[in-house]
A and B are shown apart, each in its own frame.
Chain A
Amino acid sequence: MTNESDKDRFEWLDAGRALGDLSPQEEREWKELSAKLEATADPELDWIVSSLETEFALRNSRSLSPALVDRLNDDAKEFVHEEEATTPPGKFVPMLSFAAAGWLAAACFAVLFIANLGLNQKCDEELTADAARSALVERAGDTEVTFTTFSGTADFASFSGDVVWSDSDQSGFMRLNGLAANDPTKAQYQLWIVDPSRATEPVDGGVFDIATSEGDSIVPIDAKLRIQSPQAFVITREKPGGVVISKQEVVVAIAQAS
């Protein structure tokens, strides 16, 4: 056999190796040719097989059972760094009443004169969040935009609010009113997004704090997974830093998507 035909034959066998279909006789031949040609397995073939397997699996992905998800989350605890677990994201952005908003605008204006850049940025962020929410609410008639209202549970009957979410933008906001201020060192609020098409467990929508129960607060949603079809939004109260899976010991409010 010529060297070229040996190479062709080795390539042929190596493709079988990558596919996992070598017979014992072919395996022996692969080894002999490998030694003769000083050739090794081609990682390119392995990676194409792996790419195909991954792509087909992604297209036909089957869900994990809730029990297995629980086991995996238990295993993961060993690898969680506690200092990260207790770092509050602190992403809430309060929206103030009209009177307070006037004060805020004045404060922002004054900031320009005193050149307090840090405060100026905060004002911009607050006003931007309010404007972004308003823009999203205006699109509430679109099929890909969900807009619904929260119902407080028995212990949070005075709470009211709404939520707007865009599937295409993968962003949204909650507007919350009458929710008790929390001490972030003791407890934090956490949003959950129920999307059965995406995950068996509710998706973490972000941890947030409420500084004051007065007026409205605008809270950006920080979904940790891509949301495709939200069915409900649930606010719970959790330990500082939030939790991976909520035991729903303190459910604050629920908003059902229509």
Chain B
Amino acid sequence: MREGILPRVSRGEPRAMNECIQTYGGLVWTITRRYVGNESDAEDLVQEIFTELWKVADRYDEERGTESAYIGTMARRRSIDWLRKAKRHPEAQPLLELEDRLPHVDSKPTKSYDSAMVFEVLKKFPEDTRELFELHFESGLTHPEISEKTGVPLGTVKTKLRRGLVKLRQEVKRLEPGREAGRHD
């Protein structure tokens, strides 16, 4: 099996750096743009994320998840951090004020979820619930924006998404019994 990109990045192999940018740049950019409206700010943030990635690539453990999941999670967390610092996104503030109680940035289940598998489970959800997830994660709409677009009351949007998330966790655990939460420090 061909060696992944991140182990080679951690060794400082020059072509691995460019390979990493070419392979995961679009992923990082797409996630970042969901949180950061200003293109110039988003570009600065993408640079920060990759600089961090160059530094911590040696922490990646392929036994515990895919490279895309590792990098996608990093991009999400750094984007949320950016929002907190920029204080431009009041809705995110409640989440971020909880940071001292949130899982560590590198925390994750002992064996990472296969993101494709989570996606497949979601595809089996009722269409109305699935559509809400798609509008939130694919179109990047906030909950009020989803409510406005679909005509579904805001409270119902929240309820269906939260219930859907808990249901997803149950279904994934059912498919992968024996999973235990842990830390990845």
Q: Hey, which bits of chain A sit against chain B, CB under 8 A? A: 11-12, 15-24, 26-27, 30-31, 34, 40-65, 68-69, 71-73, 75-76, 78-81, 84-85, 198-201, 203-204, 224-225, 241-245
Residues B26 and A63 in contact, CB atoms below 8 Å apart: yes
Residues B43 and A56 in contact, CB atoms below 8 Å apart: no
Chain B hits for A204, CB < 8 A: 15, 18-19
Q: What is the minimal beta-carbon distance from A108 to any residue of chain B, in angstroms?
A: 29
A53 in complex: contacting residue of B22, B55, B72, B98, CB < 8 Å: B72
Identify whether the interface residues of A are mostly helix, strand, loop, or mixed. Answer: helix
Residues B172 and A55 in contact, CB atoms below 8 Å apart: no
| Nearest 5 pairs of A and B residues by beta carbon | A54-B72, A81-B12, A61-B26, A51-B115, A76-B17
Residues B165 and A45 in contact, CB atoms below 8 Å apart: yes
A50 in complex: contacting residue of B73, B94, B166, CB < 8 Å: B73
Residues B122 and A54 in contact, CB atoms below 8 Å apart: no
Which residues from 87 to 107 on chain B have a C-beta closer than 8 Å to any C-beta of chain A? 91-92, 94-95, 97-98, 101-103, 107
Residues B14 and A85 in contact, CB atoms below 8 Å apart: yes
Contact A30 to B98, CB < 8 A, known contacts A51-B69, A54-B31, A72-B50: yes
Residues B13 and A84 in contact, CB atoms below 8 Å apart: yes
Report how far A84 CA is from B12 CA in the complex, Å: 7
Residues B166 and A20 in contact, CB atoms below 8 Å apart: no
Q: What is the minimal beta-carbon distance from A117 to any residue of chain B, in angstroms?
A: 26
Q: What is the minimal beta-carbon distance from A25 to any residue of chain B, in angstroms?
A: 9
Report how far A11 CA is from B102 CA in the complex, Å: 14
A19 in complex: contacting residue of B51, B98, B102, B165, CB < 8 Å: B165
Residues B165 and A18 in contact, CB atoms below 8 Å apart: yes
Which residue of A12, A50, A76, A204 has the most chain B CB atoms within 10 A of its CB atom? A50
Tell me whether B138 is interfacial, beta carbon within 8 Å. Answer: yes
Q: Hey, which bits of chain B sit against chain A, CB under 8 A? A: 9, 11-15, 17-19, 21-23, 25-27, 29-31, 33-34, 43, 46-47, 50-51, 54-55, 68-69, 71-73, 76, 80, 91-92, 94-95, 97-98, 101-103, 107-109, 112-116, 118-119, 122, 133-134, 136-138, 143, 158, 161-163, 165-166, 168-169, 172-173, 179, 181
Report how far A45 CA is from B119 CA in the complex, Å: 14
Residues B107 and A60 in contact, CB atoms below 8 Å apart: no
Identify whether the interface residues of B are mostly helix, strand, loop, or mixed. Answer: helix
Residues A27 and B21 in contact, CB atoms below 8 Å apart: no
Residues B25 and A57 in contact, CB atoms below 8 Å apart: no
Chain A hits for B55, CB < 8 A: 79
Report how far A63 CA is from B30 CA in the complex, Å: 8
Report how far A55 CA is from B137 CA in the complex, Å: 9
8 A–B contacts from the bound complex (CB under 8 Å):
A12-B162, A17-B95, A24-B94, A60-B30, A61-B26, A64-B26, A84-B12, A225-B19
Chain B hits for A199, CB < 8 A: 22
Report how far A16 CA is from B21 CA in the complex, Å: 33
Residues A55 and B14 in contact, CB atoms below 8 Å apart: no
Residues A27 and B72 in contact, CB atoms below 8 Å apart: no
Residues B11 and A53 in contact, CB atoms below 8 Å apart: no
Report how far A14 CA is from B54 CA in the complex, Å: 32
Residues A57 and B22 in contact, CB atoms below 8 Å apart: no
Residues B68 and A54 in contact, CB atoms below 8 Å apart: yes
A21 in complex: contacting residue of B9, B143, B168, CB < 8 Å: B143
Q: What is the minimal beta-carbon distance from B88 to any residue of chain A, in angstroms?
A: 14
Identity of the chain B residue whose Cβ is nearest the Cβ of A15 in the assembled complex: B162
Chain B hits for A23, CB < 8 A: 94
Report how far A244 CA is from B14 CA in the complex, Å: 7
B169 in complex: contacting residue of A27, A41, A44, A78, CB < 8 Å: A44
